[in-house]
Structure 1
């Protein structure tokens, strides 16, 4: 804040003993720092600090004088305590433990806001008289109950503080302060005006006006869209502060939360490109936002809250993973091991629900080949859980606050690494939050931990965390927060008719007649226009350089400049002409170097991966190279319950055991349906994964339902098996080694049947996409069965097919046969010369094998972009989509590969 722009009386007050009161803490902090800077410029080494307080701080100091003198003994309620009382009123219950719902919290907030407004306009005694609607009558009853309860218990609502202070001054129990200067205030509400009237002879008010400087820029900037608007704004700020290094710039955003993320990204890119690095400390930036983020949104606080939730039972797997990977828990030396456990054990564990409790997690660690070392930090946490197994016993809020502190300590929160400035302040905010929760013991209640945790979560969501100001040269705030502030330049963004004047709304819980008679916000358009004009005048007087920016259109359509701003009749500038032209970018001559270096030969012809090697090579040479030769595969994760792969594995295992016992179609036909059902039931039981984490009756019911579903589907499939020609099952889940070109691949054949004159190959599939057409072409999508077809001797193969085991009409045989009757219902077009087809496949697959062995790692997806949709190698191949995109194809759902 430039001191030269302040009134002389205010400058004298800063140097004297007068108390200066500002409308906001930001304004008072800015004035104190400006005063300190002026003293340093005078060469002083020490000086008396300026007596500058915000209005709220001043009210608190006057109340403290009353308490110290003994003139008033009531408990001044903090926000949490007042919310607790209002929630009791709106729920109609004394304890409200189990009755507390999100809607009750919302109603309590609405009631408190209406009560604050009524007190500000001295209307609390008139609520019943003007209650003409059901909502107004309901609130009037709530207000009477709340006021009566406060009076009986000796509580004082903060909304009544100004009125009570005035009463004490009039009664002589509070001495009116002397030498008070008010500066930068806007509109006054009646309760505040009456308090000042009681002290009228001892204070003076000043406006914070900055004189217009020669050459100041005042303009309206029009951009094509909202992104261009913010980009032009950021570039203008950079040019301005480069020319005036000590300048202070105010950026006003009507909707801070909507634009904050995009503006912060632009500021990091344009104002502080050195902050672009991931993981850099952002505690000190050349810009800062006046409004904070919900405390619960900070990763450090989210970890502490999830720890608390974990004490209640199983926690979501995603949150458990976040705890394992959090730098704020455990020891810094074990984070890599914890990450490996999370990737290779927890995410691939056979869990039936997407959640896990701490004992189950520790048991999983004991079964892991990595041992329990990665999770050693959870042992003290588990011991803490066991020591506090009586968490169901009601306690006071202060006791629960200490429990949560002990819980955080057991998990070594907030970690061992040095904290950044913002992180350190977050730990202080967390401690303050627990202290605030402890104040809820003011009524002597004892509650369950679940109630205390819900209360803590609500407070963490409602508490905005803003690190202490570092006096950054660029301050981002809402127009309301700029009251009492002065800058070298002000930029008002999003200056459309939808944002300015700000929309005023009446309160739904107060009678309309009451609000209209007192001129409350939202009841009079002329009064709202008058307030907006006053605020605009104060804004224009707070800086010499002022820019209003707006975009002609946004995602919703065309936009219009606010008429109140258009009436200023300022020069209008296009955003593209606002900033001086940037220097031409350095042109670098492109140099193309042909990559002719050959890949080293395969270390062995025995390549892991089986048929998938050729499948990947057919899809894209680079993907086959990256995944098979480099091992660059993505981490696998197991979904909760039976996912597609596990359902397929269970089907394979059950059918394998079934045919091991039945062995032929004739034996199948000789069995009754009940006998088949009983045998299938036993086979499914045997095929179930023994590592399934079955806990409780819900898990047992889920597994029973899956078994029943699979048995019903397989009974239908066996009917399909009996419609075929005669066969005997020779091999089930049989391993074979095949030489294909320069490769030796290990295959596992689902099933090989002996049929009349030869053999028949069967591959079980449960996905929608499985189709024999995927076997054809020079780059087959599913080369698995064609590869199996090369195993039998010449003339032995009579057919091969997908056994598509899906319920309903999708249950069918799909494949090739060289004689009618092997697969019932097969279209005639699939009957072909099997031996000729086998030789064609041999040529195709040999070519793919030679291509892979020869090191063909060309980035050439078969069907862009579909081939690349589920490929994990896109960061490595750096494929330019524009070089291959020929149309707009829709993404397909991935099928089950079984």
Structure 2
């Protein structure tokens, strides 16, 4: 019998065979986690002899679960002062956050959630590793933490509650005092690599009660053969590992194999793609990566609907983004039957740049588009709005279930994985209902926010397929396993050993002295050595791989495999040669059917612009009617600002009409009042959804910009306004294209100047766009060459791009005469037009534009472009398949 325990080496050893011979009623096996408990149970079952297929096994319990059970047993002791409430990790972190916000007051940290996480971790480290900080060595961060810790303990006492750390401490204290109820005389530790000081104290207390403490030593296989492969990047690693798995599964139909990834969570999408496209059809595999519960589709849908209800309950309005998320997620009445109608609502809001929708408007839209959902929605809203009081989380949890049920959640019969997801969501709702002691009565929106946080921090993974012979796991999940072959990928020197990560709230030298986890490079190296040794024992042959580069960054192999010579890559790991075993036939299909002569193809002048930039873009958008959905409208987007500025200038010039009136208004001091009136009217039309402060700022900015522009206009040669926001239609064969011009001026010589306002701050010089053979951004050249009459007195004599920005107003463009405005070029200034006069330039443009129009009419759908920048705003990029066509597709 031992009276003290310091480390695992001081404990006696036992084996699986000896464990089976022990008195199962008096033996307790504690495992380091749930995974080890399941694995040990499986190993014990497999090791039973044929004549003993049924026999009692000892209790096998994860350490955390046993601490909870022991704390519950203590509550039955007469002298036990057991707290009335227990806070799990999520609730404790919430209380830490409340404490930090209260202590810091107006100096609240930017991220109190992260501070709470670090504080809870520091509190556990101090207890687990029995850290003692000398007052002379206290850092400022530790002093703040000590203040939080003191207040946190007070809050626990006020609530008559304890958290996980305090509960474990109470069990260890009871063991040391000899009052912990025991139903075992033998304790076996399984899966532990070390003992913390608190764990050693616990075992010492149990030893003084006569408990025999043992360490289970499994039948560890010897280290297998070791191979190392260096691949160009992570993508190639996964494809090589998938080909390795395919080869081995086919060679050994009864074998079990594993791919172990150091960054499985980040690479899970790539892993699925490589395995699906490489493994034979019907060959299943298990990916052991748990994602936050909030990322699973049904949970995401539930949160979306609850968030919509919270928006309407608080303000009576919601955003198209929030409503669209809920409608597209579905999981409601008419989930399949009304899916298309829900999607059309979302698309309509996007195209119209709607920024907010009231409850009344949304209800009306549902009535017209989705009658089944509309009826369910009415009942849901009636229940939600009937009582607007604050409730405890237990009541809100029940309310959430009721509201989701009224909406028809989950919408259809779930499959196996979806059913497990629903069970996990139901457990989360039950868990939420236990948090009244921390948050008390809260609003509906606050309750939805807490549920969202909870499911984001709750990891979930459906049960594995027992028939699958390939497992894909992380480094920790693979520990202690056994397969016929293993491929470990991603083993760079950044992964093994990992970088240190000491808790910043605790003095670094204290953590180093205690040997706390993640505190020192030596500690990480020691842990990495144990892990690598275990990886080498997972199979008779273990393949290790690492990427040579990540983007432009060079990577190095882990020092644990750096000295292993690179293996010769076998043929089955090589990617298949292009066209291997298959004769590829290439068909270039870039000619669509021509438009019928009697057809009518409406559109904007952008049709010609897209035809110039990339004929396939124009074909897909206007002939196939396909384009990506625009993003949701935003109050402060550039389009709203542009509309506001255009309307303000339109109103100003509707009032003034010509330059002489501007001069007269300037002399009389009336320009500012005219601008103010126009700004106010434009803001009422286009900034109605802005908050008061943002609207005021936009109006002030707009006023400054308009006044700057009018000052520049006063210095011009005389002009009069010919037209404002002028619509123009061009009929060319079956094409009927429309164009709207911001402004047309009549100049002093009788010619016209076309003015186009630009409200962004980018480069507006059109030289490179208008001098090309296939010109782009051609609205102004189009009007000048095709609609403006050429060089007659009524023809266009200047094309003006006016940049209106708070940093300054400027002009760029091309003119046939001097307008008195700096920035306008003449034809002779552009080398591409050398030897041409104004009329020749207009003729060249006309021929180019009509040529593009004829190309479109003939069905030209070539996937070609002159500059990659021409496609910066392309809304049919997936059709162009540039990753296959290449970037030099000129």
Same fold (TM over 0.5): yes
Alignment of 1:877-888 (within 5 A): 877-878=880-881, 885=888
Cα offsets for 1:650-684 (capped at 9, x unmatched)? 55555555555554444554444544444455555
Q: Return the match for 1:868 from 838, 855, 871.
A: 871
Alignment of 1:127-142 (within 5 A): 132-135=138-141
Aligned to 1:237: 245
Equivalent-residue separation in structure 2 for 1:742 and 1:387 (angstroms): 59
Aligned to 1:402: 398
Distance verdict in 2 for CA 1:735–1:588, change over 3 Å: same
Equivalent-residue separation in structure 2 for 1:597 and 1:134 (angstroms): 72
Aligned to 1:854: 858
Q: Return the match for 1:708 from 689, 697, 703.
A: 703
Superposition CA RMSD, Å:
4.8
Aligned to 2:385: 386
Equivalent-residue separation in structure 2 for 1:824 and 1:529 (angstroms): 68
Q: TM-score, normalised by structure 1?
A: 0.78
- Give the C-alpha shift of residue 457 in structure 1: 4.6
Is the aligned partner of 1:55 residue 2:72?
Answer: no
Aligned to 1:32: 41
Q: Return the match for 1:604 from 598, 603, 609.
A: 598
Cα offsets for 1:414-466 (capped at 9, x unmatched)? x3023343433333333333333333334794455566555545434433223
In 2, are the aligned partners of 1:293 and 1:465 still within 8 Å (CA)?
A: yes
Distance verdict in 2 for CA 1:232–1:41, change over 3 Å: farther
Aligned to 2:192: 185
- Give the C-alpha shift of residue 718 in structure 1: 4.0
Aligned to 1:438: 433
Q: Return the match for 2:617 from 605, 623, 642.
A: 623
3-state SS, counterpart of residue 788 of structure 1: helix
Equivalent-residue separation in structure 2 for 1:523 and 1:611 (angstroms): 65
- Give the C-alpha shift of residue 18 in structure 1: 5.5
Is the aligned partner of 1:348 residue 2:355?
Answer: no
Q: Which runs of 5+ in 1 are unaligned?
A: 276-284, 888-898
Is the aligned partner of 1:292 residue 2:299?
Answer: no
Equivalent-residue separation in structure 2 for 1:85 and 1:660 (angstroms): 62
Q: Return the match for 1:766 from 755, 758, 773.
A: 758
Equivalent-residue separation in structure 1 for 2:137 and 2:256 (angstroms): 49
Cα offsets for 1:35-60 (capped at 9, x unmatched)? 6678899998x987884332333333
- Give the C-alpha shift of residue 559 in structure 1: 1.6
Alignment of 1:764-843 (within 5 A): 764-766=756-758, 768-769=763-764, 771=766, 774-775=769-770, 778-789=773-784, 790-791=786-787, 795-807=792-804, 810-812=809-811, 814-817=813-816, 829=827, 837-843=841-847
In 1, are the aligned partners of 2:184 and 2:211 still within 8 Å (CA)?
A: no
Equivalent-residue separation in structure 1 for 2:354 and 2:357 (angstroms): 14
Cα offsets for 1:326-361 (capped at 9, x unmatched)? 13355413322222121122552354xxxx365376
3-state SS, counterpart of residue 797 of structure 1: coil
Distance verdict in 2 for CA 1:763–1:740, change over 3 Å: farther
Equivalent-residue separation in structure 1 for 2:604 and 2:522 (angstroms): 79
In 2, are the aligned partners of 1:737 and 1:747 still within 8 Å (CA)?
A: yes
Equivalent-residue separation in structure 1 for 2:684 and 2:598 (angstroms): 34
3-state SS, counterpart of residue 609 of structure 1: strand
- Give the C-alpha shift of residue 207 in structure 1: 1.1
In 2, are the aligned partners of 1:677 and 1:711 still within 8 Å (CA)?
A: no
Q: Return the match for 1:82 from 70, 73, 92.
A: 92
In 2, are the aligned partners of 1:89 and 1:142 still within 8 Å (CA)?
A: yes
Q: Which runs of 5+ in 2 are unaligned?
A: 1-13, 830-835
Distance verdict in 2 for CA 1:682–1:583, change over 3 Å: closer
3-state SS, counterpart of residue 330 of structure 2: coil
Distance verdict in 2 for CA 1:676–1:776, change over 3 Å: same
Q: TM-score, normalised by structure 2?
A: 0.79
Cα offsets for 1:562-585 (capped at 9, x unmatched)? 25x67xx8x644262495668876
Alignment of 1:610-759 (within 5 A): 610-637=604-631, 639-641=633-635, 643-650=637-644, 653-654=647-648, 656=650, 662-672=656-666, 674-683=669-678, 690=685, 693-694=688-689, 697-698=692-693, 700-701=695-696, 704-705=699-700, 708-709=703-704, 711-713=706-708, 715-716=710-711, 718-720=713-715, 723-725=716-718, 727-735=719-727, 738=730, 740=732, 745=737, 748=740, 758-759=750-751
Is the aligned partner of 1:359 residue 2:359?
Answer: yes
Distance verdict in 2 for CA 1:745–1:220, change over 3 Å: closer
Distance verdict in 2 for CA 1:653–1:363, change over 3 Å: farther
In 1, are the aligned partners of 2:373 and 2:407 still within 8 Å (CA)?
A: no
Distance verdict in 2 for CA 1:582–1:839, change over 3 Å: closer
Aligned to 2:18: 9
Equivalent-residue separation in structure 2 for 1:545 and 1:687 (angstroms): 74
Aligned to 2:6: none
Cα offsets for 1:192-250 (capped at 9, x unmatched)? 4325524655564321224459xx63444444554444443443334334444454445
In 1, are the aligned partners of 2:392 and 2:440 still within 8 Å (CA)?
A: yes
In 2, are the aligned partners of 1:763 and 1:802 still within 8 Å (CA)?
A: yes
3-state SS, counterpart of residue 569 of structure 2: helix
Aligned to 2:31: 22
- Give the C-alpha shift of residue 469 in structure 1: 4.3
Alignment of 1:95-494 (within 5 A): 103-121=111-129, 123=130, 132-135=138-141, 155-159=161-165, 164-165=170-171, 168=174, 171=178, 174-178=181-185, 181-189=188-196, 190-198=200-208, 201-202=211-212, 204-212=214-222, 217-249=225-257, 251-254=259-262, 256-271=264-279, 286-289=285-288, 292-306=290-304, 307-308=306-307, 310=311, 311-313=313-315, 317-329=320-332, 331-332=334-335, 333-351=337-355, 356=356, 358-359=358-359, 362=362, 365=365, 378-390=377-389, 393=390, 395-413=391-409, 415-442=410-437, 445-447=440-442, 452=447, 455-471=450-466, 473-482=469-478, 484-494=480-490
In 2, are the aligned partners of 1:217 and 1:544 still within 8 Å (CA)?
A: yes
Distance verdict in 2 for CA 1:797–1:464, change over 3 Å: same
Is the aligned partner of 1:576 residue 2:569?
Answer: yes
